[in-house]
Structure 1
């Protein structure tokens, strides 16, 4: 199921950030590896994305399959 949200933060040095879901609720983390476009183009704060929800190695939810809209 696709979800939509906006980039709340992204740390280019650490390679991870957070998305604020459009449906509300807790922010969801993502890593550079989840980006499906050219990884040399970093996501920007306020950018609208679609994503799926997966689980990180610590079993916490995370955004995967990030795409620009």
Structure 2
């Protein structure tokens, strides 16, 4: 199921970021490897994305990020 949110932060050096979901209040982390578009275009703070949820090391994370 696709969910929607905005990029709260993205560390270009570490390749990790966080999404603020449109529904719910828990921030969800993501890794650069979850980006579903050209890897040379990095996510920017405030950018709206669709994503799916999964787990990484038994913790929730965002997967299959797409621009909206």
- TM-score scaled by length of structure 1: 0.96
> What are the residue-to-residue correspondences of 1:7-46 with 2, within 5 Å?
7-46=7-46
Distance 2:61 2:48 in 1: 16
Q: Give the superposition deviation at 1:60.
A: 0.3
Q: Give the superposition deviation at 1:28.
A: 0.2
Which segments of 5 or more consecutive residues in structure 1 lack a partner in the other structure? none
Which segments of 5 or more consecutive residues in structure 2 lack a partner in the other structure? none
Distance 2:25 2:65 in 1: 18
| Equivalent residues, number | 68
RMSD: 0.5
Distance 1:19 1:39 in 2: 18
Distance 1:25 1:9 in 2: 15
- TM-score scaled by length of structure 2: 0.98
